Chains A and B, each alone.
Chain A
Amino acid sequence: MGRGRLQVDGEIIEEIYSIQGCNLKIVPRVQVNVITREREETLIDQVLGGDEGAYSHLIDAHKSYAYTIAYKILLNRPEAEEAAQDAFIKAFQYLRGFNRSARFSTWLYRIVFNTAISYKRRRKGTFQDINSAVGLSGDVGGRELDRSDSHQHVHAALAGLNEADQLAIQLFYLQEMDLQEVAGIMGQPVNTVKVRIHRARLRLADELKRMLKEEALTL
């Protein structure tokens, strides 16, 4: 997977590429508008000043991360989309109370996290749709081709971890998220998240080893 950046109208547009097959076909995956903290501050001031349109830039900059976090929790695309949208609306409605010394992204993703958790709790006791029951990776559809066996094994092993450990390790490995941010989003102390990630890595290793052994025996 490669990554490229270009600047358009003062905003950095980041594109993430995947390399498919041997012909090195470059396919843009998700376009992320990366905005600087100063620009973010300006946009927040504009929104608070009554320019609601400026909020669309904040949405564009954060929607992929927000949606991904919601999806990692809910494993259901329509539900994740709805939860992420609700989180953006809540963030807009409570923007005046946002503590400006903190990072907007961490605050927003925390709202996304809480909203998605609420959705999940509400869903308990109702029927899950077939897409959400497919598996933890949730990459149904067109991505099977570029998924190797090790991907499948790791994702299957991930499914065996407890929910909080799964989330911690997945958020940590999500692009550009550090331990502080993951802790901020999950609302847990940094050390707790650190322990969760460490424990998850070792459990994944044990589980993966077991799976590979079982597979070798069946061959």
Chain B
Amino acid sequence: MNKRHYTDQQLLDHIDGLRVLPMETLRQSPADLERLNVLLKIQKVLSSAHLEAPSAQFTARVMSRLHQSVEKPGVSYRNGIWLLMGVLVAVFVMAGMLSGGFFDSFSGQLPGKVMPIPGESFKLQLPEISWSGKVILEIIVVINVALALFMLDRAVLRPYFLRRRLMHH
């Protein structure tokens, strides 16, 4: 009784006018008929979609802003390149100083604090922390390299590809 004779594709083709399905067969299958009705309803509703109307001042507003930059505030292309160059210079200077052994002697130890514990007779001795200027600078170099890559993406590559896409599409 509820067996379908036609596939969804055949029903859609029938709606789109690509094939004609005999109504007698359709009537014999309530499941097909129900599916067809649902698909027709969707077709009808979606086909009745209408254009939305922008405001009456739409054209005037566009015309008054034709030469304005519509890119949202952020780092401009030029500033981005300057910033990128600055970061790269800093990285190279620091890398040069590191390889030259400039920071090899900058190291030391942070003395461990002695903390009294209330209600107890003994005191807690915190361990000493050793630091090395070289390691700290290496971490700063790595952070700067990551920052340079981020700047390269945001300030140079993305604007470049966006511009290219708009120009050549």
Contact = CB atoms under 8 A, between A and B. Distances in A.
Contacts of B55: 81
Interface stretch (A5-13, A35-43, A126-134, A199-207): A199-207
Interface stretch (B42-50, B87-95, B106-114, B131-139): B42-50
Do most interface residues of chain B lie in helix, strand or loop, or is the interface mixed?
A: helix
Contacts of A212: 38
Given A86-B70, A89-B65, A202-B8, A64 B42 contact: no
A154 B51 contact: no
Nearest to A52: B66
Interface in B99-158: none
Q: List 5 tightest A-B contacts by C-beta distance, closest first.
A: A97-B167, A173-B46, A67-B54, A154-B45, A86-B70
Most buried by B among A16, A89, A111, A175: A89
A102 B50 contact: no
Interface string A146-161: 0000110011010000
Contact of A150 (B9, B41, B61, B72): B41
Given A85-B62, A201-B12, A67 B52 contact: yes
B35 A59 contact: no
Please tell me the size bucket of the interface on B: 35 or more
Contacts of B166: 90, 94, 97, 111
A208 B42 contact: yes
Interface of B: 8-9, 12, 34-35, 38-39, 41-42, 44-55, 58-59, 61-63, 65-68, 70, 72, 163, 166-169
A219 interface: no
A95 to B, nearest CB: 10
A16 B51 CA distance: 9
A22 interface: no
Contacts of B65: 85, 89
A65 B54 CA distance: 9
A122 B49 CA distance: 28
Contacts of B45: 150-151, 154-155
Contacts, number: 123
Contacts of B35: 205, 209
Q: Considering residues B35, B44, B70, B168, which has the most beta carbons from chain A within 10 angstroms of its beta carbon?
A: B70
A77 B65 CA distance: 19
Interface residues of A, number: 56
A196 to B, nearest CB: 14
A202 B7 CA distance: 11
Contact of B42 (A93, A122, A204): A204
29 contacts: A29-B51, A29-B53, A30-B53, A32-B51, A55-B66, A59-B59, A63-B54, A63-B59, A64-B51, A64-B52, A71-B52, A80-B52, A84-B54, A85-B61, A85-B62, A89-B62, A89-B65, A89-B68, A90-B70, A90-B166, A92-B62, A97-B167, A99-B168, A99-B169, A154-B41, A198-B12, A208-B42, A209-B35, A212-B38
Contacts of B34: 209
B58 A85 contact: yes
A77 B54 CA distance: 8
Given A97-B167, A97-B168, A198-B12, A1 B48 contact: yes
A46 to B, nearest CB: 14
Nearest to B58: A63
Contacts of B53: 29-30, 64, 67
Contacts of B61: 85
